[in-house]
Amino acid sequence: MGSESYWLDTAPAFTGAQLGDLPRQVDVAVVGGGFTGLSAARALAMRGASVVVLDAGRVVGEASGRNGGQCNTGVAQDYAGLHASLGAAKARDYYQAYESAVQTVVSLVDQEQIACDMVRNGKLKLAAKPMHYEGLARTCDLIRREVDADVELLDAGQARAEVNSAQFHGGLLQRNGVQMHIGRFGVGLAEAAARRGAMIYEHTLVNDWKAQAGGYQVNTGRGSLHAGQVLLASGACQHGGLGWYRRRIVPVGSFVIVTEVLPQALIDQLLPQHRAYVTSRMIGNYFRLTPDNRLLFGGRARFAMSNSVSDAKSGKVLQAAMLNMFPQLAQVKIDYCWGGLVDMTSDRLPRAGQHGGVFHSMGYSGHGVQMSVHMGQVMAQVMAGNAEANPWRELEWPAIPGHFGKPWFLPFVGAYYRFQDYLH
């Protein structure tokens, strides 16, 4: 069983990395070579800016290449809850931002002709309890009336026809969603950014940056450069001087297993519609088929950080959950098991804007595939002076009380969520 991300292990090598010295001066330095940074670098370069991307490891090597591959409409919060807490107008704006983000991904794949096995087949949120189905019914009615007519509530029988498991009591189908090979997409995005003129440096850790006349001195492990603007697109990375951001984001481990290639007859029996799926529990699961007919099955599994030991323990938890959902897979081998970090904000909404003059976009809270790509393009507009392009511009971002970067409270959060799943 491989401990590497399936997406990264089966993606082509990135050929556009810079191998020489850093440039002395650029218009923009982008910190982080994931989807946000690469999308922004491509858009900025297309506007004529000189851009350098600096990544501590390989491009798309962290969250962008280690996720579950879900790319769908839908805010991280329940829409009805968002509607109740922020009002109809904001809930609608944020929902539409995610709708736009899916289209941004589709348009970029088409414009750059990225070979990433893209298909459009939507997402089905599955009700794990009867009361969850009632909640999905209310949410479906609200979404259909206010923002998206192309959603559908499935009863238990219809859900069973989509997902051949006895666990579910219905589901909410949102059709605006795509699937793709995340690794191939990420490398293709990096190649596109390099082709458009961005200079991409892998294995270049950014230690810090200091304001100076006309911009910033950016200090890295391989030298320094001067940048007129800096975009922080690394999430709350565990390296470098990002203390202000770490106090506002909780990094939560998310874990994934991928099976061996499944026979077509078994796929037709279990998941005939080939959608992306997510369950309604607070500690739930997400799953989908890969382009080569494996089942990818993921979730929080354990409220712990990702490392080799933690990933292996979480893989066993996920395998047990998968077999409980699909006993038909009892003899199926697990080929991949890995983990990564999800950057969670306290309200599970992204944050983008400026702090201390430095631009940032992060905190996608488990919905980053589409929103990170979208926000990369948005931040290129913001950095050119169009602050109104940023859908998250009005959100405040206070520090999380008692949090100073190390998520010591994760076991307590996990216990609370498990208790809530038991109650509700």
Which pLDDT belongs to residue 238? 65
Helix-helix angle 88-112:130-146, to 10 degrees: 80
Distance CA 33, CA 198 (A): 11
Considering the chain, what percentage of its residues have pLDDT values greater than 90? 79
392 and 349 Cβ atoms separated by less than 8 Å:
yes
Q: Is the pLDDT of residue 365 over 50?
A: yes
Amino acid in position 129: K
Helix-helix angle 35-46:182-195, to 10 degrees: 30
Q: Where are the domains of the chain?
A: 6-414
Average pLDDT over residues 12-30: 97
Average pLDDT over residues 40-65: 97
For the stretch 382-393, pLDDT in tens is 999 999 999 999
Buried-exposed string 115-144: b where 16+ CB fall within 10 A, e elsewhere: ebebeebbbbbbbbeeebbebbeebbebbe
Alpha helices in 126-278 (DSSP H): 130-146, 156-162, 182-195, 243-246, 264-270
Q: Which CATH architecture has domain 6-414?
A: 3-Layer(bba) Sandwich (3.50)
**Mean pLDDT, the chain, integer:** 92
Which pLDDT belongs to residue 1? 65
Distance CA 422, CA 178 (A): 32
Provide the whole-model pTM: 0.94
For the stretch 151-183, pLDDT in tens is 999 999 999 999 999 999 999 999 999 999 999
124 and 173 Cβ atoms separated by less than 8 Å:
yes
Which pLDDT belongs to residue 416? 47
For the stretch 107-119, pLDDT in tens is 999 999 999 999 9
124 vs 419, which has greater pLDDT? Answer: 124
